[in-house]
Amino acid sequence: LEERGRIYVTGGTYDNPMDEDHIAQALSDPDCSVASDIVGADLRTPNPCAYGTFPKVLGRIARDQGVMTQEEAVRKMTSLPASQMGLKNRGVIRKDAFADITVFKRETVIDRASFGNPFQLSEGIEYVLINGKVVLEKGKYDAGAFAGRVIRRK
């Protein structure tokens, strides 16, 4: 109710255009953030959302469909959800904030994963930094970086 009675939870099949229409409609609301609860629990057959939720929004929904600008999509993935969840120094780039940064090519970022072929990295992602440590560089993942940390709500 603090969100003026508007809470969106979207779901459906990842590669179904009908579901994309519902997601795009929800994302047109300025208070709707982008999130995914997919963590890859089944490594044999992962959900494609584990590989492509955010590039899908940046590429298909923002750039290609024009539902929002890519800048607005980034806000909906970073500072907006961090603010909504009360996470301090997350989702922003500034002094003393955690440096969780993804560098992508705005012209080419796109998801490639599907249920038939889920192990597909997205295109256009150049670098990923977690807490200031580079964990992905030019398609190479550093599994030994151990840059993440558990965030606990106080």
- Domain boundaries of the chain, sorted by first residue: 17-141
Residue 59 and residue 68: Cα distance in Å, rounded? 11
Q: Can you tell me the distance from the alpha carbon of 73 to that of 69, in angstroms, rounded to the nearest whole number?
A: 6
Which amino acid type is present at position 69? T
Q: Tens of pLDDT along 131-146?
A: 999 999 988 988 888 8
pLDDT band at 38 (very low <50, low <70, confident <90, very high): confident
Contact between 34 and 27 (Cβ < 8 Å): yes
Residue 16 has pLDDT above 80, yes or no: no
Q: Are strands 140-141 and 101-104 parallel, antiparallel or unpaired?
A: unpaired
140 forms beta bridges with 137
Q: State which amino acid sits at residue 23.
A: I
Residue 151 sits at φ, ψ, to 5 deg, of: -105, 120
Yes or no: say if 142 and 136 are a contact pair by the CB < 8 Å rule.
yes
